[in-house]
Amino acid sequence: MSPVTKNPPDIDQKKTVFLIVSHSRAGGVQEVWASLAENMHESGFDVRLIALYRPAGAILQADGNLKWQYFVECRSLTPLRMAVCALRLSRYIRVHKPKCVLTAMPFANCFVACISLFSSRRVRIALSHHTPINTYGKLSKIFNIVAGFLPNVKSIVCVSSAVASSARQKSDFYNAKLRIIKNSVAPSVERMIKARAGHASINLKLRKIVAIGRLSPEKNHSILIDAVSIAENIDLHIGGDGPERDNLIAQAKKLGVEHRVHFLGHLDRVSVIDVLAGGGIFAQPSLFEGHSLALIEAALAGLPLLVSNVPAQIEGVTDRHGCVCGIIIDPRSAKSWAEAFSRLVDCDDEYNHWSRRALKLSQDVSFADMAEEYIKLIK
């Protein structure tokens, strides 16, 4: 990946930066961090792409020159492994003396901030929130708020205004650290999407609903299966895996739509792009989000966007001029989703209108802007 910052700063080649997540299981946060790390590396930084632990299951394969580094390999962090992780992280910080550490995911945010404070007070920490913090567990939320008050934490990045609102506290000291940096996809991914989009038959595409995301309760895929049971001649293709898979398969069978609901399992990056390029409508009924990469990718592919009426999703489909570029739907109403599917399928003008709006929205997304904002945190 070539560096895409608009105005690359004068960079000290010895300036070391860590980008750390809790684990490297495939997901949007890991994808953003891997793309950002590769771009910084190409821009001249000495970058380390780190996951605190290597989990079981599908791992996001980092492209390019950088690969994941781990402190422990385990399914989950036991107290003993956490202690080992803390010792190894502390030593790694003392040896490599990073100029800045960027963290993502709730556990990494508070764990790295605390260990760094006792390892080297000179290390600058920029922690980040990719979903609203009121969706974290109770202890995780408290620890992440406390981490934001630590003196070595210089910035608290939020991927949307909605996420920033959830993070804001009754403290000018804390709130002054908040920064909004919206997600974007790597230029190589954008090029692949644009190269593949629009090749499938429009008649086939119009009948095909695509949903991409982990099969977990907050993604709310069950409402889409209910909607497919109401709407006729609609197929639903769900890309992703997770704990709700068996429940969703059982739901589709119970409603008699198992032949129209297709579970694609975990997809690598190229497969996700192929699914979007061959899709007709993108549906994301999540109960909460931060700034979804799948939504950005679907917009680049020109798919009409159907999203839930939660703050981050409304923000996600609204362009910089205030134009709403997606259809916003109650995440609890299967009938509303079914009606939206039918309107798009049955009316070419409606479909083309929302396809154009999606492409308009995609023009707001810039990896260069995102990379440049993160680099500013390091200077």
The pTM (predicted TM-score) of the whole model is 0.90
Q: How confident is the model at residue 198 (pLDDT cuts 50, 70, 90)?
A: low
Sheet with strand 124-129: strands edge to edge: 69-73, 46-54, 16-23, 100-104, 124-129, 153-158, 178-180
- Over residues 60-100, the pLDDT tens digits come to 666 667 889 999 987 777 899 999 999 999 999 999 999 99
- Tell me what pLDDT residue 25 has: 86
Question: Two tokens at 175?
Answer: 């709130």
Give the separation between CA 376 and CA 287, rounded to whole angstroms: 32
Would you say residue 56 has pLDDT above 80? no
pLDDT at 122: 78
What share of the chain in percent tops pLDDT 70? 92
**pLDDT-based confidence at residue 343 (cuts at 50, 70, 90):** very high
Q: Is the dihedral of CA 147, 150, 152, 157 positive or negative?
A: positive
Q: Please say if the pLDDT value at position 119 is more than 60.
A: yes
Determine the pLDDT at residue 243: 94
- CA–CA separation, 282 and 313 (whole Å): 13
- 39's tokens: 């771009």
Could you give the count of Cα atoms lying within 13 Å of 312 in the half-sphere of its Cβ?
29
Q: Where are the alpha helices (DSSP H) in the chain?
A: 28-42, 79-96, 106-119, 138-149, 161-167, 172-175, 187-196, 202-205, 221-230, 245-254, 269-277, 293-300, 311-316, 334-346, 348-362, 367-378
Of 340, 350, 274, which Cα lies nearest the Cα of 306?
340
Task: Tell me: pLDDT of 9 over 60.
Answer: no
Name the phi and psi angles at 129, rounded to 5.
-115, 125
Where exactly are the structural domains of the chain? 16-181, 188-362
Residue 292 host element (H or E): none
Q: Tens digit of pLDDT for each residue in 179-196?
A: 999 999 999 899 999 888
* DSSP sequence for 320-353: TTS-B-SEEE-TT-HHHHHHHHHHHHH-HHHHHH
Digit-coded pLDDT (tens) for 154-166: 999 999 999 999 9
- Is the predicted pLDDT of residue 1 greater than 50, yes or no? no
CATH superfamily ID and name for 16-181: Glycogen Phosphorylase B; (3.40.50.2000)
Position 8 pLDDT exceeds 50: no
| Average per-residue pLDDT for the chain | 90
Residues 230, 284: Cα–Cα separation, whole Å: 18
What integer is the mean pLDDT of 136-155? 96
Tell me, what's the pLDDT at 348?
87
Taking the C-alpha atoms of 185, 58, 106 and 65 in order, what is their torsion angle to the nearest 10 degrees? -50
Backbone angles phi, psi at 52, to 5 degrees: -60, -40
Beta-bridge partner residues of 23: 53
Tell me whether the CATH fold assigned to 16-181 matches the one assigned to 188-362.
yes
CA-to-CA distance for 57 and 140, rounded, in angstroms? Answer: 23
| Residue among 152, 151, 149 at smallest CA distance from 169 | 149
- Give the model confidence (pLDDT) of 287-331 as tens digits: 999 999 999 999 999 999 999 999 999 999 999 999 999 999 999
Q: Give the helix/strand (H/E) hosting 180.
A: strand 178-180
For the chain, report the end-to-end CA distance as a whole number of angstroms. 22
Give the pair of three-digit tokens for residue 40. Answer: 């910084």
Q: How confident is the model at residue 178 (pLDDT cuts 50, 70, 90)?
A: very high
- CATH match of 188-362 with 1.20.272.10: no
User: What is the rounded radius of gyration, in angstroms, for the C-alpha atoms of the chain?
Assistant: 21
What is the distance between the alpha carbons of residues 215 and 266, in angstroms, rounded to a whole number?
10
pLDDT at 269 over 90: no
pLDDT at 350: 93
